[in-house]
Amino acid sequence: MDTPHYIAGRWLPGEGADVFSAFEPATAQAYAELRAASVDQVDQAVAAARQALPAWKTTASRERARYLRGFAEALGTRRSALVEAQMRNNGKPRHEAEVDLDDAVATFAYYAELAEGLSDRQNRPVALAAPGFSAHTRLEAIGVVGLIVPWNFPLVTSAWKIAPALAAGCTVVLKPSEVTPLIELAYAEIADAIGLPAGVLNIVGGKAEVGAALSAHPGLDKLSFTGSNAVGSRVMHSAAEHCRPLTLELGGKSAILVFDDCDVDQAIEWIVAGIAWNAGQMCSATSRLLVQDGIAEALLPRLAEALDALRIGNPLERDIDMGPLTSQAQWHKVGEYFAVAEHEGLRCLAGGRQLGGPGWFVAPTLYVDVPGDSRLWIEEIFGPVLCARRFSQEDEAIALANDSRFGLVATVASADLERAERVAAALEVGHVWINSVQAVFVETSWGGTKGSGIGRELGPWGLGAYQSVKHVTRCLG
């Protein structure tokens, strides 16, 4: 790992002061050491993207689509290595790592299709009420974009940003998380392999200093950030200083609403998936369980049994249901919430403890009858910690679900589909699942309301986030 940065089509050693390690969370052992990029190297990356922009944004959209298909195909050929990399550095079970890889492939393939006809759809006429004028519309690349991605879904979140940005004709500077610094380098390897023009994709790694330098850089035309609300707030301040557009995908404290007409076994499957996938390290984790009185006594004890029965371990050694937390810092954070729960006197039906090492494992946890002023009910934990409350009426469930500073997603479980649709319409979130696990499709949008962020990714909305609208109006007289 002597050259972990990719700038202007070249692999370069880090010149920053920080040295950081990639860890295997199942063993708590470091297996790679990297030197961060310097602030000067961030400048170099932005300059390379700026230099590459004029040619890339005027490249025929069919040609850009060809490169995107090259990314999709190359990810597929690297499947085994990338799945193992996700398992090793993230601690993901194999089936989750495979879903991540499939998601990234699908994202590049989808935006290749959208890019295919962009050039042909330019200069669309606009009907004007006033006589004597004509007008047409152009959708143009917004410019050089900075992309900052988190550690919980590397490869996936970066695909969600890189693919539409390149499809739109933007050039990119990507900053991966220092917790998972390796897997995004596959995108640079692929860029080399498919002959992507130098400077179109640049990758600089490091800790907060590198992210701050990128987010504050005056050479960017847009910034897209996925991560915590605390860092997102600082990123937003940087964007405000330059009055530039910004996409933020931040935290969540999402609810799953289970009505008493729901099949208990099916409900448990959806609940467990919503809190245990990626060991609960998801902004979309449905960590607040709202269960109707009529089903609560049958569901909660069996839910506790299901959580206790999850197979936990090293994904490289055996078939598991849930792996470790990805970092020691996150392991300590979740442990602190266990202490808070004990101090608050919460009733624990499952878990509530850190597990023995050597890795960063915690038990999937269920607290019941959690009051609305509990820190565990209000705050994003980012671990497999589920808090349950009961409700009696539909309106009460909606009010409890919406009583949050976040608004990313929600799940509704009910045999009454008319009611489920009615509840979905009333929830103040960006995405709702009805009687389903959290299946995310590239054709749909992703993003939230309130404190969960600004803007949307995926679908045509994700492409639009990297395009600016230009109207040309002409006097015919």
Domain boundaries, the chain: 5-250+452-475, 255-441
Contact 473, 135 (CB under 8 A): yes
What percentage of the chain has pLDDT greater than the value 70?
A: 100
Cβ–Cβ under 8 Å, residues 314 and 27: yes
Q: In terms of DSSP bridges, do strands 144-148 and 133-141 run parallel, antiparallel, or are they unpaired?
A: unpaired
Structure confidence at residue 2 as a pLDDT band (50, 70, 90): confident
If you average pLDDT over residues 214-233, what whole number do you get? 96
Top-tier CATH class for 5-250+452-475: alpha beta
Reduce the secondary structure of 204-218 to three states and give it as a string.
CCCCHHHHHHHHCCC
Tokens standing for residue 456 = 């949307």
Bridge partners (DSSP) of residue 356 are none
Mean pLDDT of 379-398: 98
Per-residue pLDDT of 239-259, as tens digits, reads 999 999 999 999 999 999 999
Determine how β-strand 171-175 pairs with β-strand 201-203.
parallel
Map residue 145 onto helix, strand or coil.
strand
Position 435 pLDDT exceeds 90: yes
Report the amino acid identity of residue 403. D
Say what the pLDDT of residue 127 is: 94
Query: What DSSP character marks residue 356?
Result: P
Whether residue 1 is predicted with pLDDT greater than 80 in this model: the reply is no
Tell me the average pLDDT across 225-248: 95
Single out the residue of 205, 222, 227 nearest to residue 465, CA to CA.
222
| pLDDT for residue 252 | 97
Helix (H) or strand (E) holding 133: strand 133-141
How confident is the model at residue 33, as a pLDDT? Answer: 95
Instruction: Round the average pLDDT of the chain to a whole number and report it.
Output: 97
d(CA 338, CA 236): 32
Phi-psi region of 466 (alpha: psi -120 to 50; beta: other; left: phi over 0): alpha
Residue 81 is encoded by which pair of tokens? 């290595």
Confidence at 477, pLDDT banded by 50, 70, 90: confident
| Separation of alpha carbons 67 and 65, rounded Å | 5
pLDDT above 70 (res 266): yes
Residues 6+ apart with CB under 8 A from 419: 259, 394
Q: Among all residues, which ones are annotated catalytic?
A: 249, 283
**Smallest Cα–Cα separation from 168: which of 193, 137, 146, 144?**
144
Contact predicate 355/390, CB 8 Å: no
Between the alpha carbon of residue 405 and those of residues 42, 370, 426, the distances in Å are 34, 18, 16
79-96 tens-digit pLDDT = 999 999 999 999 999 999
- Residues forming beta bridges with residue 386, ordered by sequence position: 366
For residue 417, pLDDT beyond 70: yes
Q: What is the pLDDT of residues 296-344, one digit of tens each?
A: 999 999 999 999 999 999 999 989 999 999 999 999 999 999 999 999 9
Q: How far apart are CA 404 and CA 229, in angstroms?
A: 14
Give the confidence band of 416 by pLDDT, cuts at 50, 70, 90.
very high
- Decide: 327 and 30 in contact? Cβ < 8 Å: no
* Order of strands, sheet of 144-148, starting from the edge strand that comes earlier in the sequence: 10-12, 5-7, 201-203, 171-175, 144-148, 222-226, 246-249, 453-454
Assigned architecture for domain 255-441: 3-Layer(aba) Sandwich (3.40)
